[in-house]
Structure 1
């Protein structure tokens, strides 16, 4: 290093030391919310918006007649057979609504193009559906079929993932389900050559039918 270069470097060092230590970064406000406000003050609306943003199909059903109409229209558009439904409470709702379904497991592996299940909660923040293995649907109906339908109520919508996990804790206590899954849109991956593939690890289509709160599912 030449003398002039050495002098210039030392001069910058002396100038930096004279200026004193660098200011500390601002102290985080640990009491402040981690997330920004939801897109809508109404958590149901916020969920519907986010659910569709992540690739889900949302259908609002004012009553059982609307549910029957929406389900029939969905099957017609997708050209799929009647859904597999294994939860007794859901079967009862569909029977009252006059909706066809398959209650047994005959030829399930070969013909499981459509399923319908309930859920534990709906998360407005992420547009996710929280399902578990605690229902009669088990693990298979939310994972194996090509298309997954969910029947839920507005009262099941919560704001954050933490709220949904508290629902599980309060519902099952010390004996939680063997599987709990947050489903955010259809199954998809782009691991191979950055090419998006739907249905890689689960249903390639998910649709939610939100039925107004009248009675129990």
Structure 2
């Protein structure tokens, strides 16, 4: 490199250093982190997201419709009555004429199917938020081969933060010992990049969305 070329390069460097670098734009912390949901109806947005992550979604307009949907699921999957430990869900299933197992007899050996409630449904991610505060405890949403969830449209929220605030408002200082976000069936591809379902929990997740006023709808 000639002396003149060296001088030109150094001059450019000095000129660049003399001008302070522009500061990056200041972020607007008040603006939403995520764009709007794909669908303005949060329930529809949840159903789309839930199915996208591998969940099976069943809409139920009445208790009679719930019975038909559960019976169809059992027939397709060749499974018997689900274990149900929450009194409120047990009462709904009795009213709908759906058989279930209310005790824990032979649970470990025959836990093919468990049915629980949930705390909230997240439209953004299609996640189901469950806690250990119900009679289902920690086991019924984790141990069975297939996990069924009975929920209501009023439980759908847009974001995970809203779901956590629902739990906080419900329990206050007495938070559950376990709160879990379930996004589709349990899966892993850690070994040779081969997808395996049911590695750490249920291999199938199905949600039955029962209308909030379903008990008042004539069959």
TM interval, short-chain normalised: over 0.9
Q: Deviations for 1:17-47, whole angstroms, at most 9, x for unmatched residues?
A: 36x2222221111111111101111111111
Matched with 1:45 is 44
Superposed displacement of residue 168, structure 1: 1.0
Matched with 1:58 is 57
Matched with 2:164 is 165
Q: Deviations for 1:48-82, whole angstroms, at most 9, x for unmatched residues?
A: 11111111110000001110000000011111111
> CA–CA distance in 1 between the matches of 2:40 and 2:69?
27
> CA–CA distance in 2 between the matches of 1:201 and 1:143?
8
Superposed displacement of residue 9, structure 1: 4.2
Superposed displacement of residue 3, structure 1: 5.2
Change (3 A) 1:130 1:23: same
Consecutive unaligned residues in structure 1, runs of 5 or more: none
Consecutive unaligned residues in structure 2, runs of 5 or more: none
Matched with 1:22 is 21
Matched with 1:179 is 178
Matched with 1:10 is 10
Superposed displacement of residue 192, structure 1: 1.9
**SS of structure 1 residue aligned to 2:16:** helix
Matched with 1:108 is 107
Matched with 2:90 is 91
**147-156 or 4-13: bigger deviation:** 4-13
TM normalised by structure 2 equals 0.92
TM normalised by structure 1 equals 0.93
Matched with 2:199 is 200
> CA–CA distance in 2 between the matches of 1:22 and 1:174?
49
Superposed displacement of residue 193, structure 1: 2.2
How many residues are treated as equivalent by the alignment?
A: 215
- Please tell me whether residue 141 in structure 1 is matched to residue 140 in structure 2: yes
Detail structure 1 runs of 4+ shifted over 3 Å in the superposition: 1-9
> CA–CA distance in 2 between the matches of 1:128 and 1:17?
51
CA RMSD in angstroms comes to 1.7
**SS of structure 2 residue aligned to 1:36:** coil
